[in-house]
Amino acid sequence: MLPFDLERVYGGIGLAPEALYSNFVSSIDGVVAMGEGKHAGSLISGKYPADRFLMALLRACADGVLLGAGTLRSTPGHLWSAADVYPSLAESFAGLRRALGREPEPRLVVLTAHGDIDSAHPAIQRGATVITTDEGKRALAAKLPSACEVVSVGAAAQVDIAKAIEEARKRGLAVLLTEGGPHLMGRLIEANLLDEAFITISPVVAGRDERERLGMVEEWSFNPCPVRGRSC
């Protein structure tokens, strides 16, 4: 049950006690990412209030927000909290978190194979769980603030996605929201780890004259693959 003012806007939402769900805003032609240094969500959605409300609501329901390092780099000033994107209902979202038994803010979980993390990023300064490889852990040694935890899931060249989710869950992050990026989405779907997908279609066309303009899933191809979800 949502607080009244949130239910009035959105209706209802229900997630399993353990769930991994995604949220993306996409252009009509399927672009969700505009390249590092460009906050694609804001560019594609135009900061439309309904999309920002949904983003805040989904963050308010989560124990943790899961990102790839590329998404962190593409949003240099962002904080992954409900209040950051919808401040006018910050107290309602905080009340929802209390009612759900969540911590005051979702824990940021960042995946990086090589430790390419900007320690000065404000979201990192607030504290994050960084899941990486042995190489990445060595690269990050003593570089992150004490509020961060660095976890290695092995010596492979890439982060083992299943082990990464397992490590997050060991830390009490049972309900996880991912906001990307597209490479991480492909890996989650390929590993059958994604439970629900929330997708907002914005009435804009982005085009693909640049290589880094990406769709919701990159580096993976599937036979048509059903994903439980809701579209807006």
Work out the widest C-alpha separation in the chain, in whole angstroms. Answer: 49
Tens digit of pLDDT per residue, the chain (232 long)? 566 667 666 666 778 899 999 999 999 998 988 765 455 667 888 888 889 999 999 999 999 999 999 999 988 899 999 999 999 999 999 999 999 999 999 999 999 999 999 999 999 999 999 999 999 999 999 899 999 999 999 999 999 999 999 999 999 999 999 998 899 999 999 999 999 999 999 999 988 876 678 888 888 787 776 665 444 4
Q: How far apart are CA 205 and CA 52, in angstroms?
A: 19
| Global pTM value | 0.89
Asked if 34 and 81 count as a contact pair (C-beta separation under 8 A), the reply is no
User: Among 179, 197, 207, which Cα is nearest to 27's?
Assistant: 207
Q: What are the tokens at 67?
A: 């990102």
Please, what are the domains in the chain?
Answer: 4-221 (3.40.430.10)
For the chain, list the strands marked E by DSSP. 19-27, 64-68, 107-112, 128-132, 149-152, 175-178, 196-202, 229-231
